[in-house]
Structure 1
Amino acid sequence: MTAPWWRAHGLDVRIIDLTGPRARVARLLRGCDLVYVCGGNSFHLMRCLRDAGAVPLIRGLVSSGVPYVGESAGAVVAAPDIDYIAPMDVRHEPATTLRAPLMRETPTPGLALTRLHVVPHVGGRLLGAAADDILRMHAGESGYAPLRNDEALLIEDGRMRRLTTGSLAARLL
């Protein structure tokens, strides 16, 4: 859904089907100047990234200076572990078995691109209550970054800046 926006801003957008052949996923990722990972269910997204062999490729791209942009679940999976997002996202297997919940003991490593745990949708109408629950569960702990729908974190050279669009519509979603 965001591809037209990126294209309108002059970017050559490649949509990568993570369920496609691993060699194709790898070839398309290796040619990227920016990696954008969209939202959805964080557990499903991370499982698809692992199954596609994209995790080491994305880590390598980022370590070589390629920017990573994560929206919602895309921001969540940048954390070292994604278990913290369980109050917001149901822990399910990929689409073929969406009705089978993951066992609690199942490891939930993320991409580990940052030490932060982004908590998206703070104050939002749809997922704001779940975001509040996560923040209460981790109150007093460092490393949790609450974000409204109109905010983003920019991490560059070890420094972090919070950016905002000021969009009232985005804040209310």
Structure 2
Amino acid sequence: MKNLFLCSSFFDVAGILPNFLERINSNCIQTVSFIDIASHVEEYKEYVEKAKLAFEQQSLKLEVIDFNQSSDDIVQQLQKNDLIYISGGNTFYLLQMLNEKKLTNVIVDLINYGKPYIGESAGSVLLSENIEYIKKMDNPQNAPNLKNYKSLNIIDFYPVPHFENQPFKNLVEQVISEYGESLPLIAFDNKQALWVLDKTIILKDET
């Protein structure tokens, strides 16, 4: 049973997280594996601090995952905590680092076992079968050791975050123009979240 909360800007939609957790009967969630590695190659990182604040405002305890530690230690943290969150940033670098730490299959298994997952921007794109489609928005050169673009393949569609939102508006339009007829894209803006509950997809607005 998949329990996915996909968004462009977590801070802007965190207000509907309690409803999501209630929907999946996970009100006992207290701890979050907080993965912000995708932001490490970006100049603008304010969204990471905003996401931390949003979690703290809901009394959730964060454990920031340090990629300098061993893969085994990271796996133990992911298994121990109640929820996985992956921030925005560069999707290609994110996938490269997950591959290097041999975490992709671990995350896939945890999601398939029902562990709730929140993906913000790059963290949403990561769940698609292949991330090549997002190259207009993210620079693949930030991941020189990434051998291919095969990703987690958790969902059967391709998220396009930041729809109609600056500074990504033109880039999003380019992605849709190039792949809109060949891939099942789902675009959503900064005030929306996609809930993926097993095979059911619900588009929610922050109100």
Q: Provide structure 1 residue ranges, at least 5 long, that are not aligned to the other structure.
A: 95-99, 167-173
Task: Tell me what 1:152 maps to.
Answer: 193
* 1:1-173 equivalence runs, <5 A: 1=49, 2-94=51-143, 106-166=147-207
Q: In the comparison of the two structures, how many residue pairs are matched?
A: 158
Which amino acid is 2:150 matched to?
Answer: P
Superposed CA offset, 1:48-84 (max 9, x none):
1111221111111101100111000000001011000
Q: Calculate percent identity across the aligned residue pairs.
A: 23
Report the RMSD for the aligned CA atoms in angstroms.
Answer: 1.7
Please state whether the residue corresponding to 1:4 is helix, strand or coil: helix
Decide which structure has greater helix share: 2
* C-alpha spacing 1:48/1:19, structure 2 compared with 1 (3 Å): farther
Contact 2:158–2:183 (Cα < 8 Å) also in 1: no
**Displacement, 1:124?**
1.2
Which amino acid is 1:55 matched to?
Answer: T
* Bigger relative CO (Cα 8 Å, ≥ 6 apart): 2
Dislocated runs of 4+, deviation >3 Å: none
Please state whether the residue corresponding to 2:173 is helix, strand or coil: helix
Which amino acid is 1:158 matched to?
Answer: K
Q: TM-score, normalised by structure 2?
A: 0.71
Contact 2:157–2:184 (Cα < 8 Å) also in 1: yes
Task: Tell me what 1:171 maps to.
Answer: none
Q: Provide structure 2 residue ranges, at least 5 long, that are not aligned to the other structure.
A: 1-48
Superposed CA offset, 1:72-102 (max 9, x none):
00000010110000011010244xxxxx5x7
2: CA distance between counterparts of 1:148 and 1:111? 22
* C-alpha spacing 1:15/1:85, structure 2 compared with 1 (3 Å): same
Decide which structure has greater strand share: 2
2: CA distance between counterparts of 1:90 and 1:127? 13
